[in-house]
A and B are shown apart, each in its own frame.
Chain A
Amino acid sequence: MDEAALILHAANGDTAAWEPLVLAHQEAVFRLSYLLLGDPDDAEDIAQETFLRAWNHLKRFDKGRPLRPWLLSIASNLASNRRRSAGRYFAALTRAFRNEPTVSTSTEEKSARHLEAGELWKAVQHLSLPDQQIIYLRYFLDLSVMETADVLQVAEGTVKSRLSRALERLRGIIQKDFPVLAEWREGPGT
């Protein structure tokens, strides 16, 4: 059964039809939530909540649309709200009282590529939330401009102009605060 047929069945209350759809999209939803929140536990909460909300609103979903952008749109909104919640602050504050975390062996052993990717993520976190969202969708989750527009519910032209501005800002941050990435950006082939 294809996705559209599964959505149709699920919209009529068939939970068995919803299960393969959750399975198919859980990774993208979890990863976007993780990128926005930086905490796997928070991301898991948001991923669960995303699929429950989507289930509750399936009847109103346009069955002709692909499911993934809609799910990512819900996850993005939920994660944005969670970023500013009091509860998350309590948890973060508590962690801040503990000793500085030690660097684990696994971190030390990570490949240079993973470390660079981690640095890039840190650089993106310096951007505003809307800039982060568009960069995560386009470059980290590898969505097309059309899919990104669908998630953000804006025109494709708007995605392009927003991306352009976000990239300029990201480049400025990398040049100023992330010299390792700046070297990479200016490296061979540039």
Chain B
Amino acid sequence: MNELQRERFEEQLHSLAKGLDYPRTPNVTDAVMGRLRAPAPPRFLSRRLAWSLTVLLVLCSSLMLIPSVRAAVIEFIQIGVVRIFRAEPTPFTPPNQELPSTIVPITATPAPTLQPLMPILEALAGEMTLEEAQQAVHYPILLPSYPPDLGQPDYVFVQDADGAMIILVWMKSQQPDRVWMSLHLIPTGSWAITKMGPTIIKETTVNGQSAIWAVGPYPLQFSNGKLDFVRLIDGHVLIWTGGEITYRLETDLSLEEALKIAESLEPVR
């Protein structure tokens, strides 16, 4: 580009960029000022503990606004690093109704703001080959041998989640930009994942070990002591443990198929 072309290009960029349709700016001010003016936690608590308690309190208070959760948020099931609070299997409050402000309704995200997965996969840290991933973690990476034609994952990531977590992603063969299945291998001590009152919770077993099948929608909380956030999730997930690893298989397949996959795990050849 010569100088003139560049100036023209810049003018056009300026002009066109002004036309971008941004979402309405939320009221950040009230949220920030509310957090700044909140009473400080007692001094005898560590910052980490105080933060965890605050998040838990806010989360529980928010969830109590949801009738189905208010009915029965007492009992929970723990599978590895995943904790699922039981709730009555009644339909979840539709996102356009009274949803607590701490819960971010993914399913309510307007279509124009939905992001394709591929750029996020491409931007996700820790992508490497399966061999590199195996060298990066201290535990054996197990791969499904079912279905027989599954093959190796299309994407392999090692993420620092306060423990080296492996994420394996298989894309749909007919739609290579769509995910068919993902498998997370989460070592003990990593991020704690909490599900609150999935629409369906079914207790099952994988290789004789307790397992959970959860069907959304449900609020899902991620926390690692430094960061917490809540999302409304609509997905089918099978969770089980093997040794110190928690496995989380996310797919749109049936429970029966998911179990076959889970029970077919074997070390990388």
A-side residues, CB < 8 A to B, are 15, 18-19, 22-23, 26-27, 29-31, 34, 38-41, 43-45, 47-48, 51-52, 55, 83-98, 101-104, 106-107, 110-111, 113-114, 116-118, 120-121, 125, 129, 135, 139-140, 142, 164, 167-168, 171, 184-185, 189-190
Contacts and interface: CB of A to CB of B under 8 A. Distances in A.
Contacts, number: 178
Contacts of B117: 92-93, 95-96
A contacts with B: majority SS: helix
Contacts of B250: 93-94, 97
Contact of A27 (B19, B25, B159, B161): B25
A22 B31 CA distance: 10
A15 B173 CA distance: 55
Interface of B: 1, 5-6, 8-10, 12-14, 16-23, 25-29, 31-33, 35-37, 104, 106-107, 109-115, 117, 119-121, 123-125, 157, 159, 161, 165, 167, 169, 178-179, 182, 191, 220, 222, 227, 229, 231, 233-236, 250-252
B35 A95 contact: no
Contacts of B179: 93, 96-97
Contacts of B111: 101-104, 107
Given A89-B120, A96-B179, A117 B104 contact: no
Interface centre among A51, A184, A189 (most CB of B within 10 A): A51
Contact of A31 (B22, B124, B227): B22
Given A96-B178, A103-B111, A51 B32 contact: yes
